[in-house]
Structure 1
C-alpha cells in the first residue's frame, strides 16, 4: 500500500514504520531551556502510534542548543566548531535523558544512537546501522538518533538533521519520514511574500521545486532550511520513501497537521534495490567524470559506463569510491562506484576498451562503472 496522502502517515497499513524528525527550534525555547510541555505532547502522540502497532524512530536535534545554555556559550553554541562540539557533549546527555524520561512515562524504552556522515556513507557501517535499528524496533524500543556533533567535523557531518532523517529512513526501511518544522510546508515563493501558495503534493523534486526554497533556518537555532528539506526529499525519493513537512509548532503537532491536511507531501518513486537506493542517497562523492552525448544516451538505456564516452575526470578517488557522472550539459546523470582510480580513468578516458590493456598493463575491467553499481538520477 503506497502513501499518497498526508493522513496515511498515521495509518499502520500504509506506514508501518515512520521516522519523525524534531528540529532544535521546536524542542528548545529561545532561553535555551527545553519545551517540556510541547515535547510531552509529542511523545504522547508517538506512544499512541506505538500502541497502534506503528514503529517510530525519532531523529532529534537540540543537543547543541541545550549544551550551550548549560555552558553559557554565545550564539547558541555555534560560534565555532569547538564550541559546537563542547555544547553537544554536554547537551546530548540532557537531550537523551529528556527523551528517555518522557517515553518511560508511557512504558516505552528510548535507545540513543549517535551517527556521523561516514556511518551511513560507508556500506559496511550502513548495514550495521540497519541491523541495529531492526533489532531495537523488534524489541519495542524507540530509537532516538542525532548527529554525533561531539566528534563530527565539517568534512564528516550531515550539517542538518533533515538529510540525516532521510538517510535513517532509508537504512531502517521506513515507509515515510515526517519533518516537524517551523513552517507548514513548501511554498511557491518566500512564504512571507503576499500571495505565496503552499504546495500540498510534490511529485518529484525538480530544479523548479528547488528554486522555490529559501536557504537558512529562520530560528537561528537549527542548521537547516527549506533547501536541506528538499535534499532530504530527494534522498527519500530514491529509496521509495514518502517525506512530509508539517508545522511542528502547535501542541500535538502531528494530529493537528494531519487533521487539517496542512503540510507538503513528497511522493516516493518506485522502491529501488537496496544497494542502488544507498548509492542514490549518498551525499558525498569522491570525484566525477564527464561524458559525451553518446555515453549519456547509453546510460539512459541501462548500459554500463565505458571509458570511451568519458571526456573529463575530476577529483582524487580510488577504485570502489562513489563518483558522479555528468552529462554534456553539466547536469548529474548518475552516481556509481568506480572500477578504476582517478589516475587510471585519466589514462583510459576516450579510448575504446580494446586499447585498455596496452595502456594500463593489465586486462581491463568490463566498464568504468558497471550498471549494477550505478543509479540514474
Structure 2
C-alpha cells in the first residue's frame, strides 16, 4: 500500500527548499526567496504588541476581526474606488497562500478547467490538482523586437476558453516576471470571462510595489467583473511582515460564502493580534506607500545595474520585488545549472524559473533566472560585489 495520497504523490519538493539549503551551505547572499531581510514600520509592531497586551489572544472571528475587515474595505475604496461591504464581502485568511487554496477548493470541481498564466506562482498548480481540476496554460513571453514588455498572445488565451472553463487566475503585479497587466489586457480578460461565464481570481499581493509609468488596476473594478472576481491580497509584501501570514479575499457574498465554508475547515481563524496590526498598517498615510515604492525602485535599480555589469541581461520589472534576467548567452545548459553555479561558485543565490513552468513549456524558462531585491541595501551591495566575479568568468 502506498501511504501517500494520489493527489499529492507527484508533487516535487519546492525549488526554494533546494536553493535555500544550497545558499546556506555556501554562505551565499540569498536573492532567491522573496522575503525581506528587514522589518516593516515600528508602529505596526507596536499595534501587534498593544493588541496582545489588550487581551486579543483567543480565537478571532472566523471570517476575520471586524477591525481588519473594515480596514480592508476602507483600503479598497481609498486606492481603487471599490465599494466593499466588510460584513459580507471579506474573508481573512492565513496569508494569500491559504486564500488561494480556499478559493480553489471552494470553486473548482473535478473536471473543471482553470487557466493559468505561466510562469506561475507554484501553489496554483498544486491547488488546482488537489481540487481535481485541470490546469490550462497560456505563456507570458519576455520582451522582444516587437514587444517592449512581457506579453501574451490574445489568440492563445482565447483558444483556452470553453464550456469546461471555470476560473482564470491573474497575478498582477506578477511573480516571477514583474509584469503588470495593463488596462487593455485586463479588458481583454474581462471580456472573455463575461462571454464564457468564467470566474476570475486575482492575486494582487504586490499591489503597492508598482513602478511608474505602470499602474495597478483591479480587474474587479472593470464593468461586469465585480460579481465574478475574487480579489486576493495580504499584508506581507506591502508592510514587510511576511511571517505574520495575514491575507484576505474580497468578493460578492455568493462567492465569499464558498470561501468561508472552505476557510472554516482549513484554519478556521488566524492570529488576532496580527489582524489588528495589519488593520493599522492599511490605514497608514499616503506618504508610507509612496516611500515604499521609492525604496523598492532604488533597490530594483541597484540590482538591475549589478546584473548588467555582471554580464547578465536583466528585464527591469514593472512591479513586485523580483527581476528576471536573461542568461542564455552565458553558455550554461539551463537555468538550474546556472543557479547552482551562481550559488556555489559566485556566492549569490537566485531561483531557476523553469520550476514555474509546466514540463512541456520549460524551454521558455531555461534561459532565465529570477532575483529578489526585497533586501537591505547592504545585502544588495554584497551581492553586487560577488557578481563582479561572474563578469570576470
Give the TM-score of the pair, scaled to structure 2.
0.29
Q: Pick the structure with greater CA Rg.
A: 1
Answer 1 or 2: higher relative contact order, Cα 8 Å, separation at least 6. 2
TM-score, structure 1 as length reference: 0.30
